[in-house]
Homo-oligomer: A and B are copies of this chain.
Amino acid sequence: MALIVHKYGGTSMGSPERIRNVAKRVAKWARAGHQMVVVPSAMSGETNRLLGLAKELAPSRATEAYYRELDMLAATGEQASSALLAIALQAENMESVSYAGWQVPIRTDSSYTKARIESIDDQRVRADLAAGKVVIVTGFQGMDDEGNITTLGRGGSDTSAVAVAAAMKADECLIYTDVDGVYTTDPRVVPEARRLLTVSFEEMLEMASLGSKVLQIRSVEFAGKYKVPMRVLSSFTPWDIDIHEEAKSGTLITFEEDEKMEQAVVSGIAFNRDEAKISVLGVPDKPGIAFQILGAVADANIEVDVIIQNVSKDGKTDFSFTVNRGDYARTMELLKEKVVPELGAQEVVGDAKIAKVSIVGIGMRSHVGVASKMFRTLSEEGINIQMISTSEIKTSVVIDEKYVELAVRCLHKAFALDQAVA
Contact = CB atoms under 8 A, between A and B. Distances in A.
A83 B70 contact: yes
Interface in A1-24: 16, 19-20, 23
Contacts of A103: 147-148
Chain A, interface size category, equals 35 or more
A70 B83 CA distance: 7
Interface in A85-111: 86-88, 90-91, 93, 95-98, 100, 102-103
A87 B102 contact: no
A13 to B, nearest CB: 11
Contacts of A91: 57-60
A50 B43 CA distance: 12
A192 to B, nearest CB: 41
Interface stretch (A33-41, A71-79, A301-309, A401-409): A71-79
A66 B97 CA distance: 9
B87 A69 contact: yes
Contact of A65 (B53, B54, B72, B90): B90
A83 B69 contact: yes
B102 A20 contact: no
Most buried by B among A59, A66, A69, A147: A69
B68 A97 contact: yes
Nearest to A72: B83
A196 interface: no
Instruction: Name the residue in A19, A77, A147 with the highest tally of chain B Cβ atoms < 10 Å from its Cβ.
Output: A147
Nearest to A73: B83
B16 A53 contact: yes
Nearest to A97: B65
Given A95-B65, A97-B65, A58 B72 contact: no
Contacts of A366: none
Contacts of A281: none
A129 interface: no
A87 B112 CA distance: 14
A84 B55 CA distance: 10
Nearest to A78: B76
Nearest to A76: B76
Nearest to A50: B80
A82 interface: yes
Interface string A221-233: 0000000000000
Interface string A191-231: 00000000000000000000000000000000000000000
The winner among A63, A79, A82 for most chain B CB atoms within 10 A is A79
- A-B pairs, 5 with minimum CB distance: A76-B76, A72-B83, A73-B83, A16-B56, A59-B91
20 contacts: A20-B57, A54-B83, A54-B87, A57-B84, A57-B88, A58-B87, A59-B91, A60-B91, A63-B90, A65-B96, A69-B83, A69-B87, A69-B97, A72-B79, A72-B86, A73-B80, A73-B87, A76-B77, A76-B79, A103-B147
Given A57-B84, A66-B87, A103-B148, 16 more contacts: A16-B56, A53-B80, A54-B83, A57-B87, A58-B87, A59-B93, A65-B86, A65-B96, A66-B90, A69-B87, A69-B96, A69-B97, A69-B98, A72-B86, A100-B149, A102-B102
Interface of A: 16, 19-20, 23, 50, 53-54, 56-60, 63, 65-66, 68-70, 72-73, 75-77, 79-80, 82-84, 86-88, 90-91, 93, 95-98, 100, 102-103, 147-149
